[in-house]
C-alpha cells in the first residue's frame, strides 16, 4: 500500500511560485504545480531499468482520490510486467483499429484473394501463435524494433530459427500495409537486419534409386494444392539439370 502524504486541504490551498513545484503523495505520485497555477497529477515509475512519468489528470477535475486510484492501477500493471505508458497509448488511440492485430487482420483479409488458402492459413496461424500474444495490442505507430526482436527471440529460443526469419518477414508485410493505410510511419523490421541467427543451409540428398523416384512422381501428380505450384512440380523432372 502506498504511503499517502497529501490531504485535500493541502492540494486545494497550494499556491504557484515562479518555478515548478512538486507536492509528493508517496510511492511515485505527486502534484506538479506550474507557475501559471495549473496543477497536474504525475506518477513516476521505473520499468525494465527505465524511468518514466505518467500524467494522471489535472486538478481539480481529477481529485486526490482519483489520482491515487489511477496511480494504484499503474502500480498493479507494473507489478504484472505491463508498462502503464503502453496501456495509456492504447487508450489514446481511441480504438483497436490502430493496433498491430487489427491492422494485421485487415492485411490478411486483403491478401486472401491473392494467396493460396494454405499460405493464408499458415501466416494467420503464425500471427496467432507467435505474434499477437506479445504485439497484438500495441499501437502500430508506437511499435519498436526492440519489441519485435524480443518477440522473434522467443521463437528462436525454441530452436525455430527459420520460422523466426519468416515471421519477421510477415510482420514487416503487415507493417508496410499499415504504412500504406496511414496508420504507421516506418517499417521497424528493417532495423533488425543481422539481428537474428541465420538458418543453417545445406544440400538436400538426391534421389538416385528408381523406386523412390517413382514415388516422388506419383506424389507430384497427387498434389492438390495451388495449380501453378502443381504445374511447376510436374515440369521440374522434365527440365532439371542432369
- Could you read off the pLDDT of 160-182 as tens digits, one per residue? 999 999 999 999 999 999 988 88
pLDDT digits (tens, 9 = 90+) for 52-64: 999 998 998 899 9
Residues 80 and 32 in one domain: yes
Q: Judge residue 178's burial from the number of C-beta atoms within 10 Å of its C-beta, 0-12 exposed, 13-18 middle, 19 or more buried.
A: buried
Is 77 in contact with 90 (CB distance < 8 Å)?
Answer: no
More confident residue, 81 or 188: 188
Place of cell 507493417: 175
Residue 74 included in any domain = yes
Do 65 and 73 contact (CB within 8 A), yes or no?
no
Strand blocks (E) in the chain: 21-26, 29-33, 39-47, 50-59
Same domain? For 89 and 105 the reply is no
pTM of the model: 0.49
220, part of any domain = no
Name the CA dihedral angle for 188, 194, 197, 202, rounded to a multiple of 10 degrees.
Answer: 120
Asked if 46 and 28 touch (Cβ cutoff 8 Å), the reply is: no
Domain harbouring 109, CATH code: 1.10.150.130
In this structure, what C-alpha cell is assigned to residue 175?
A: 507493417
Please give the residue range of the domain that contains residue 185: 97-192
Domain count across the chain: 2
Distance CA 24, CA 4 (A): 9
Q: Does residue 232 belong to any structural domain of this protein?
A: no
My answer on whether 81 and 106 are in the same domain is no
Amino acid at each position: 500500500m502506498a504511503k499517502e502524504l497529501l490531504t485535500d486541504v493541502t492540494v486545494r490551498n497550494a499556491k504557484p511560485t515562479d518555478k515548478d513545484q512538486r507536492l509528493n503523495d508517496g510511492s511515485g505520485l505527486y502534484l506538479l504545480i506550474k507557475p501559471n497555477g495549473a496543477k497536474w497529477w504525475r506518477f513516476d515509475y521505473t520499468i525494465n531499468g527505465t524511468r518514466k512519468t505518467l500524467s494522471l489528470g489535472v486538478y481539480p477535475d481529477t481529485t486526490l482520490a482519483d489520482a491515487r486510484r489511477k496511480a494504484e492501477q499503474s502500480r498493479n500493471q507494473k507489478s504484472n510486467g505491463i508498462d502503464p505508458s503502453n496501456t495509456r497509448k492504447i487508450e489514446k488511440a481511441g480504438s483497436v483499429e490502430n493496433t498491430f492485430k487489427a491492422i494485421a487482420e485487415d492485411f490478411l483479409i486483403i491478401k486472401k484473394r491473392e494467396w493460396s488458402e494454405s499460405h493464408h492459413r499458415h501466416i494467420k496461424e503464425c500471427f496467432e501463435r507467435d505474434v499477437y500474444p506479445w504485439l497484438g495490442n500495441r499501437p502500430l505507430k508506437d511499435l519498436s524494433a526492440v519489441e519485435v526482436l524480443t518477440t522473434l527471440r522467443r521463437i528462436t529460443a525454441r530452436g525455430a530459427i527459420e520460422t523466426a526469419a519468416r515471421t519477421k518477414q510477415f510482420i514487416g508485410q503487415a507493417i508496410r500495409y499499415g504504412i500504406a493505410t496511414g496508420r504507421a510511419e516506418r517499417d521497424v523490421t528493417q532495423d533488425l537486419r543481422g539481428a537474428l541467427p541465420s538458418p543453417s543451409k545445406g544440400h538436400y540428398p538426391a534421389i538416385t534409386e528408381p523406386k523412390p523416384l517413382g514415388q516422388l512422381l506419383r506424389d507430384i501428380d497427387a498434389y492438390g494444392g495451388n495449380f501453378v505450384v502443381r504445374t511447376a512440380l510436374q515440369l521440374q523432372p522434365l527440365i532439371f539439370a542432369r
